[in-house]
Structure 1
Amino acid sequence: MLEQKIRERRMTLEEFAEYAETFARERGEPGTLGLRHLQRLAAGRKSSGEPLGPVRQVTARLLESIFEVSIEELLAVPSPDDGLARIATAEPPVRADVEFAAALDWLDDRAGWSAGTSRAEVRSGLSGLESGALLDRRATRGRVGRRQLVRTLAHYYRDGVDGYDTYRVRLGDQGVKTTIFGAPEWWAAVRPLADGSERMRLLWDKETARPELGGAMAHAAASKLAESAALGVRVANLPLYRLLEIEQGDPLVGTVGLVPFVEYALTVDLLEGELVDAVSRRHGGLPLRDEYLPDLGAVLDLPARTCAGGVLALCAIARPRDRFRGEPDYALLVQERSEHVLNAAGRLAVIPKGFHQRLNDVRGDVAVSATLLREMEEELFGRAEVDTTTGESRAASPMHPGRWSAPMRWLAEEPGRMRMECTGFGFNLVSGNYEFASLVVIEDEEFWPRFGGQVEANWEAAGLQLYSSLDGELVDDLVARESWSNEGLFALLQGLRRLREIGGTRVDLPAVELSGL
C-alpha cells in the first residue's frame, strides 16, 4: 500500500524521499528515509529478495505521521478490489486501480466469462498467495539460467525454416547461443537511426474480433493478474505497436498496427513464465506455447498472431582520461531489471530498454528512434513524465525539444555528439516478441564530466553497473553470466561488435564473430 499512497500524491519515490526528509526536519522527527530504503519498503523485500525485517521505530513513526495510517497497513499488500471500494465510496480512484479493473473486464470478455468472474478468480488467487510462496517462486525462477532456456527452445523448435536461424556468435574463446531468431542479414548490417531512413508504416485498422481465450490461457491470465497485484507490477493499458510485416532486406521498413497492452500481457507474455516454470520443474508440457507459438512458421506468421516488441540499446559514453581508470574509454551501461517490470524481471539487460509504443502521436512515434530517445529520457535522464506505465502525461508533445532534459538538450546542440544505430533485429522465441537491438554512443567526452552524475536508472532497474570498453576481461566475464535476458545479451553483443569497429583506441574488446560456432 505504501507505493500506492505515494502515487496518489502524484509523487515519484525520489520526490517522496526528499519530501519525507523535509517533513522530518520541519517537525523534529528523528526518522530518516533514503531512496534505497524507501524502494525496499515499497517492494516489501530486500534487494536480495528476502523479506524485510522489522521497520525501525523512528522510520515507522515518520511514515505514520505523514500518511496518518499504521505502518502495518502501509506495508500490507493492496487488494485488487481496493480501487473498486474507493469508487463505491465516491473517492477518486488512482490510475493503477482503473487499469487493473480494465484488465479484469477484458479477461471476462475474452474468456467468455460472466461479469465479475475474473475478479473472483483473482481474489481467490490472491488469498492463496503467501509472501513466502511468491519469494520461493521468484527464487526458483531466478535459478533458471539463460542457457537452459536456449536448450529447451532449441529442442522445441528443432524443425528449422529455410533462410532463418538463431543468433549465435563467438566472443573470444566462448561460444554464445541465444533464443533470438531471424534472417542472418538482419544481424550483419548496421543501420543509422533518426536520419530519416526509417520507414515504419502504421496500418490504421479497426480491431477485428479475437478468438475466445481457451480455458488454460484464461486461468493462466487470472493467475498472472493475481501475482502482479501481489508483487506491485506496474501495468498501463496503452496501445503497443504490433508488427504485421517486416522487409527481409531492411527491418527498419515494415508495417505495424496497434494492440492493447493487456492483450499482450495476458496472452503471449505468459509464455515466458510457463517456459521458466517448466524448466525449473524439469517436467511438464508447454500447453500455452503449443497453442500460440507451436512452430517457427507460427513465429513468422505475423498477421496471424499478436507480435509486440521492444527497442533496447547498449549505451556507450565516452570518458576522458582519469587518474583512477587510466586512458580514455567508453562507459558501458548494464542494468539488472527490477522485480516490478512485466518481463525479464531480475535479469540483466542493456539500458535503455522499452516497449515499442506510442506516447501521444500514434503515427509520429512509430519510428524506432522515437522509442529509443524516449527511453533514454525516461530511464537514464530522469524524465518521469514520459514513463508510459503512469499513463498520466498531460503534455501535447512530451518529447518536444523544449521539454528535453539538460543532458538531451546538450547532446542535440551539435551534430556528432551522439550516434544512434540499429545493430540487429530478431524475434525472441521466449515470447515471440520482436526486438530492435541498437547502439547509442555519446562521442563527446565532455558529456561525462558535465552530466555523468545525472545518469541514473529509473524504477525499472534494481541496479546499474558500469563496465569499461578497455576491460576485455571483465566484459568477457559479463557475457558469460547466466542471468542475462536473451534479448539483452543480443543487444550487448551486437553493440560490442559495432563498438569495436568504430571505437578506435577507446576500445580493447574481444572480437564478436557471427555464426562462429
Structure 2
Amino acid sequence: MGWLVSVYRTVLEQKIKERRQSVEEFAEFVETFAREHGEPGTLSTRHLQRLLSGHRADGEPLGRVRTVTARLLERIFGLDIDVLLSPPRDTLGTADIVGGTALPRTVHVPETVMTRSHPGDFGTIPVDLSAAFDWLDTQSRWTPQTTQDRVTERLAEPGVRTAIAGRLPARVGRGALAEAMAAYYDRAVPGHGFYRTRIDGHGIDTTVFTRPSWLDLRCPLTPTTDLLRLDAVMPGAPREHDVPHYAVDRLAEAVMAGVRVSDRPVYRLLSVDVEPAHIGGSVGLASFVEYALTLDLLESELSDAVSRGATPCHGSQPLRDRYLPSLAGMLDLGSRLCVGGALALCAIARPADAFRGPADYVLLIQERSTQVVNAARRLAVIPKGFHQPLRDYRADTRIGATLRRELEEELFGHSEVDSTEDGNRVANPMHPSRLSAPMRWLSEEPGRLRMECTGFGLNTVSGNYEFASLLVIDDERFWTRFGGDIEANWESRSLRQYSSLDRELVAVLAADESWSNEGLFAFAQGLRRLREIGGERVDLPQIDVLPV
C-alpha cells in the first residue's frame, strides 16, 4: 500500500489545513478576526483561493498583496506574507504517520524570515529581536542567550505583563513632556531654546531644542542644497553597557507590543551646518540596536517619572544623567551618539468637490502603531523615518533620499524599501522600473513633487536630530488618479486627512496632546510654509514662533 501524501502549493494552504478548516470556514474566520481586532482588511473566498494557489487565474504571478490583507494574514499566523505565499519548504508534503494515517508535517520556516511578532503573543520570543539580544549580550559581557533568558524570565514575573501593557500606549501628554524637559534642562545655552509657537492665540511648548537660524529654512531639497556628507564609514565602537537591566525591560516591552527591531545601520550626526537654502554637515554610521537600547530608553524613563507626578531633575533620571545630562552636551554632536530622521507634512492638491467644497490641499496625519520603536500611539506627520542608508551609504545621506523612500514605503506600499524587512537582495529598490505607480508618476516630470526642509532641531527627549520638511503635490490629477492607492503601512495605526481650508479643525488638531513633539514641530513649520505658498487653496491658522 502506498503512502498518502498531501501536497501543498503554499504555506498558507498548509496552515489552513492544519487548522482543519475549509476555505469557506477560514474566510469567515478572517472576517470575524478582523472585526474583533480592529483590522480593516477583508478576504473573500475567491481571493483566498487565488492566494492559496500562489498565482492568478491566468497563471501569472499574484503581484503585490494589498497591505491591509497582508497585515491581517500576518497577524493571524505570525509569519510574513512572503513566507505564507511561498511553497512549503518540504514541497512533497512529507508526512508524519499517526495511527496509520498520513498527516501533513509542520513547515520549518527559517528564523531569518520569521520577522513579525504580535501584541500579546508571549509563547515565544520573536526572532527578529535576536540582533538586539546578541548586542546586549556582547556589550554587557554576558554569555550568549543570557539576554533572551532574562527577557523571558522578566515576562514570567507576576504582574509584569500588566504593568508593561499599561505603559505601552502614550499615557503622558506632549505638553507634560515639554514641561519636564524645561525643568530638567534649566541651564540655558545662549542663542538656543525650546521651540514654542502660538497657533491662533493658543500657546504650545515642545521638547525640540533649536535656534532662530534653524527655522523657516525654505530650503528646496535638491542636489545643490541637500548636502549632508558621509565622513566616517565605520561605526564607532560602543562602550560597555553598564545599565543592562533597563535594556532588558525595554526588550520585554518590545515583545509585548510586537515591535520590529532590525539592526540596520543608521546615520549619526557628527556636525551640522543648517541655514536658509542650505543643508550641510557630516554624518557617520551607527548601529540601530545600540540606539534602541541606550538613547531610546530615555523616553520611557521620562514618561514613567511624569506619569507618577514627579518633576525630573538631576539625580532622579539615571539614564538621562548618563547619556544627556546637559544642553551643552546635547549640542556636542561629535562626542555622543546622535541619530535621527526626516519627517514631513504632506500636502496634496485636490480639485473642488460638490460635497467637500473648493479646491484645497489634503493634509495627511498618522497615529503611529505600537510596533514602532518610538512615538508609538502618538500623532505625527507622514512620512516619518529614520535617516539611514537604503543601499548606497554615500548617496543616501541626502535628506531628500530619506523622504522619497519613506513616502514610497509608508504611503505607496513599496515594501522593498522597508528597512525592517530582512533578506531583500534588490540592488536598487528605488530604480524607476521598481517604483510604485504613484511615485513613478511623480518622478516623470520635474516639479510634480516639491520637497523643502522647513526646520531643524534636536529632540531633547532622546537627543535625536529632526529635519522637519514639507512635501507638496500641486497637480490635482495626482489625487484624482492615485488618491485611492494611498494607504499607510504597518507603522501607522490609522491615517487621517484634513483640509487646508478648515482653519478651525487644523487649529484643534495642533492643540491635541497626543502629538509627538517632533511631529508637532514638523506640522507647525510645514503649516507656516504652506500659508506662504498655498494661495487660495489654504486658510490655515496663524502660527507665530515665539523667541527662543
* Same fold (TM > 0.5): yes
Q: Distance in 2 between matches of 1:35 and 1:157?
A: 51
Structure 1 residues 280-301: Cα deviation after superposition (integer angstroms, max 9, x where no partner): 0123721100100001011111
Equivalent position of 1:200 in the other structure: 228
The total of aligned residue pairs comes to: 464
Matched, 1:92 2:110: yes
Q: Distance in 2 between matches of 1:151 and 1:36?
A: 44
Q: Distance in 2 between matches of 1:371 and 1:289?
A: 29
3-state SS in 1 of match to 2:467 = strand
Q: Do 1:175 and 1:516's aligned partners in 2 also have CA atoms closer than 8 Å? A: no
Deviates more, 1:283-292 or 1:375-384: 283-292
Deviates more, 1:500-509 or 1:109-118: 109-118
**If you compute each CA radius of gyration, which structure gives the higher value, 1 or 2?**
2
Equivalent position of 2:104 in the other structure: none
Equivalent position of 1:369 in the other structure: 400
Within 5 A, what are the aligned runs for 1:164-183?
A: 164-183=192-211
Q: What amino acid maps onto 1:451 in structure 2?
A: F
Shift of 1:92: 2.1
Shift of 1:364: 1.3
Structure 1 residues 246-281: Cα deviation after superposition (integer angstroms, max 9, x where no partner): 015367201000001101000000001111111001
Q: Distance in 1 between matches of 2:326 and 2:251?
A: 27
Which of 326, 341, 345 in structure 2 is aligned with 1:310? 341
Structure 1 residues 133-172: Cα deviation after superposition (integer angstroms, max 9, x where no partner): 3332235xx3311110000100101101111111111111
Report the CA distance shift for 1:122/1:483 in structure 2 as closer, same or farther (over 3 A): same
Which of 113, 121, 124 in structure 1 is aligned with 2:153? 124
Report the CA distance shift for 1:382/1:447 in structure 2 as closer, same or farther (over 3 A): same
Equivalent position of 2:362 in the other structure: 331
Gaps of 5+ in 2: 1-8, 40-44, 53-74, 80-106, 116-125
Q: TM-score, normalised by structure 1?
A: 0.83
Equivalent position of 2:179 in the other structure: 151
Equivalent position of 1:82 in the other structure: none
Shift of 1:206: 3.1
Matched, 1:32 2:59: no
3-state SS in 2 of match to 1:425 = strand
Q: Distance in 1 between matches of 2:36 and 2:181?
A: 35
Gaps of 5+ in 1: 1-8, 48-58, 67-73, 79-88
Q: Do 1:238 and 1:391's aligned partners in 2 also have CA atoms closer than 8 Å? A: no
Q: Distance in 2 between matches of 1:350 and 1:10?
A: 38
Equivalent position of 1:504 in the other structure: 535
Within 5 A, what are the aligned runs for 1:282-321?
A: 282-283=309-310, 285-321=316-352
Q: Distance in 1 between matches of 2:32 and 2:274?
A: 46
Shift of 1:30: 6.5
Which of 140, 150, 154 in structure 2 is aligned with 1:111? 140
Q: Distance in 2 between matches of 1:193 and 1:39?
A: 42
Q: Do 2:168 and 2:257's aligned partners in 1 also have CA atoms closer than 8 Å? A: no
Which of 227, 237, 242 in structure 1 is aligned with 2:263? 237
Q: Distance in 2 between matches of 1:495 and 1:36?
A: 41
Equivalent position of 1:226 in the other structure: 252
Report the CA distance shift for 1:448/1:365 in structure 2 as closer, same or farther (over 3 A): same
Structure 1 residues 227-260: Cα deviation after superposition (integer angstroms, max 9, x where no partner): 2122210111100000000015367201000001
Matched, 1:270 2:300: no
Equivalent position of 2:506 in the other structure: 475
Instruction: Provide the alpha-carbon RMSD of the alignment.
Output: 3.1
Q: What amino acid maps onto 1:124 in structure 2?
A: E
Shift of 1:26: 8.1
Q: What amino acid maps onto 2:289 in structure 1?
A: V
3-state SS in 2 of match to 1:227 = helix
Matched, 1:191 2:219: yes
Report the CA distance shift for 1:327/1:33 in structure 2 as closer, same or farther (over 3 A): farther
Q: Distance in 1 between matches of 2:444 and 2:350?
A: 19
Q: What amino acid maps onto 2:164 in structure 1?
A: L
Q: Distance in 2 between matches of 1:176 and 1:356?
A: 27
Q: Distance in 2 between matches of 1:463 and 1:37?
A: 18
Q: Distance in 1 between matches of 2:527 and 2:212?
A: 18
Matched, 1:133 2:133: no
Q: Do 1:24 and 1:32's aligned partners in 2 also have CA atoms closer than 8 Å? A: no
Q: Distance in 2 between matches of 1:445 and 1:10?
A: 42
Equivalent position of 1:436 in the other structure: 467
Matched, 1:391 2:418: no
Q: Do 1:221 and 1:270's aligned partners in 2 also have CA atoms closer than 8 Å? A: yes
Shift of 1:24: 12
Which of 218, 235, 240 in structure 2 is aligned with 1:212? 240
Q: Distance in 1 between matches of 2:290 and 2:199?
A: 38
Shift of 1:91: 5.8
Q: Do 1:307 and 1:432's aligned partners in 2 also have CA atoms closer than 8 Å? A: yes
3-state SS in 2 of match to 1:247 = strand
3-state SS in 1 of match to 2:541 = coil
Report the CA distance shift for 1:344/1:281 in structure 2 as closer, same or farther (over 3 A): same
Within 5 A, what are the aligned runs for 1:448-467?
A: 448-467=479-498
Shift of 1:196: 3.1
Deviates more, 1:89-98 or 1:310-319: 89-98
Shift of 1:390: 0.8
Q: Do 1:99 and 1:237's aligned partners in 2 also have CA atoms closer than 8 Å? A: no
Report the CA distance shift for 1:427/1:207 in structure 2 as closer, same or farther (over 3 A): same
Q: What amino acid maps onto 2:25 in structure 1?
A: E
Q: TM-score, normalised by structure 2?
A: 0.79
Report the CA distance shift for 1:34/1:286 in structure 2 as closer, same or farther (over 3 A): same
Q: What amino acid maps onto 2:505 in structure 1?
A: L
Looking at secondary structure, tell me which structure has more helix per residue: 1
Report the CA distance shift for 1:451/1:104 in structure 2 as closer, same or farther (over 3 A): same
Q: What amino acid maps onto 2:152 in structure 1?
A: R
Shift of 1:35: 8.3
Equivalent position of 1:101 in the other structure: 130
Q: What amino acid maps onto 1:255 in structure 2?
A: S
Q: What amino acid maps onto 1:93 in structure 2?
A: E
